[in-house]
Structure 1
């Protein structure tokens, strides 16, 4: 079965050791500890996707700073923030920056494991969504500018005749472009083509 990864980022060595000991007993989990946000960020791009248990108050880059820095690769780490008492407002800020959940220290072990499992599920969904978008975008980028114009016209619900008028070409030429874009997108129906377009982030003009 596929191994899952948990990264504990906390400057308190007793917290790291306790969490590593607890989580290492769970099946299929590889647990790594980092003593600071800076140490984790230095390694982040080389790490396998996983669940991040992140302290907020640390020397150097804070937990919020780590989340900011991870923004370009946020889908790789499902983050559960570990907060001290009275840090709820900071935890809310962390969630606005992409954290999945927050737990107050000392955290209940059952609650912790539940949060981790949910974070893994959320992360898998996020990675699948990014993969779908990347694949859809590659297909859209294979279209010529005119084929894309025709696709946008179709997304706006226009008929071939209206699209032809808007683009200054004949309805027959629109049909040709439409057939070509369907072939390049490897779809058999307009609904499939529109689904790929929306997944790729292509939207009607205006």
Structure 2
């Protein structure tokens, strides 16, 4: 990702925001602070990678409410819930609702920094996978119906002769389609084609269809 990751802090306690900012900036993280969930929602750009440190007790809209809203909107931003009044039930609820982690104040600085680094790494990984998935889907869209049929058989591990028999076409035709598929999908070989299929869910769909046909 070209955009530098940002650690977003949402806490209505100014002293906590300043303390967290100081800790994170000294660890070379870029930081952006907000005093309410509403302010964060108004200004946050979901294209910005990073992670969110979210206080669980906020006025008007609580941290848990913001967590649910972000999860419902399918934001990939990992959320680390923070609370000075936390308990096991609240932590479990936050994790079930989609939080990346839950830390109770006061926490060790080293623990927080480790969790932030892990959260950012996860966000970057998911964003990269999403980008690659979209590229694969765009390449799939330019395949002809027959090429897609051939591709489905190929990613099942079938040799050209088996694909020809399965689709009732000639071996030579399969070879031609195979070459065009590799070119359009920008794949170096079957292994790369399978990886692309797994990334966009095509492999699981084709395997499920095979089970239904059986």
Give the whole-Å Cα distance in 2 for the aligned partners of 1:60 and 1:146: 56
Report the CA distance shift for 1:69/1:146 in structure 2 as closer, same or farther (over 3 A): farther
Give the whole-Å Cα distance in 2 for the aligned partners of 1:178 and 1:47: 36
Alignment of 1:78-89 (within 5 A): 78-89=78-89
Determine helix, strand or coil for the equivalent of 2:202: coil
Give the whole-Å Cα distance in 2 for the aligned partners of 1:85 and 1:17: 20
**Residue 46 of structure 2 contacts residue 75 of structure 2 at CA under 8 Å; is this kept in 1?**
no
Give the whole-Å Cα distance in 2 for the aligned partners of 1:73 and 1:3: 21
How many residues in Structure 1 have an aligned counterpart in Structure 2? 203
> Which residue number in structure 2 is paired with residue 113 of structure 1?
113
Give the whole-Å Cα distance in 2 for the aligned partners of 1:166 and 1:46: 45
Q: Could you tell me how far 1:40 is from its partner in structure 2?
A: 1.1
Q: Could you tell me how far 1:103 is from its partner in structure 2?
A: 0.7
Q: Could you tell me how far 1:82 is from its partner in structure 2?
A: 0.5
1:21 paired to 2:2: no
Aligned Cα RMSD in Å? 2.5
Give the whole-Å Cα distance in 2 for the aligned partners of 1:188 and 1:51: 35
Q: Could you tell me how far 1:53 is from its partner in structure 2?
A: 0.2
> Which residue number in structure 2 is paired with residue 153 of structure 1?
153
TM-score by length of 1: 0.82
1:60 paired to 2:82: no
Determine helix, strand or coil for the equivalent of 1:137: helix
TM-score by length of 2: 0.80
Report the CA distance shift for 1:122/1:146 in structure 2 as closer, same or farther (over 3 A): same
Give the whole-Å Cα distance in 1 for the aligned partners of 2:162 and 2:119: 47
**Residue 56 of structure 1 contacts residue 64 of structure 1 at CA under 8 Å; is this kept in 2?**
yes
**Residue 74 of structure 1 contacts residue 98 of structure 1 at CA under 8 Å; is this kept in 2?**
no
Q: Could you tell me how far 1:132 is from its partner in structure 2?
A: 2.5
Report the CA distance shift for 1:47/1:146 in structure 2 as closer, same or farther (over 3 A): closer
Determine helix, strand or coil for the equivalent of 1:51: strand
Report the CA distance shift for 1:138/1:94 in structure 2 as closer, same or farther (over 3 A): farther
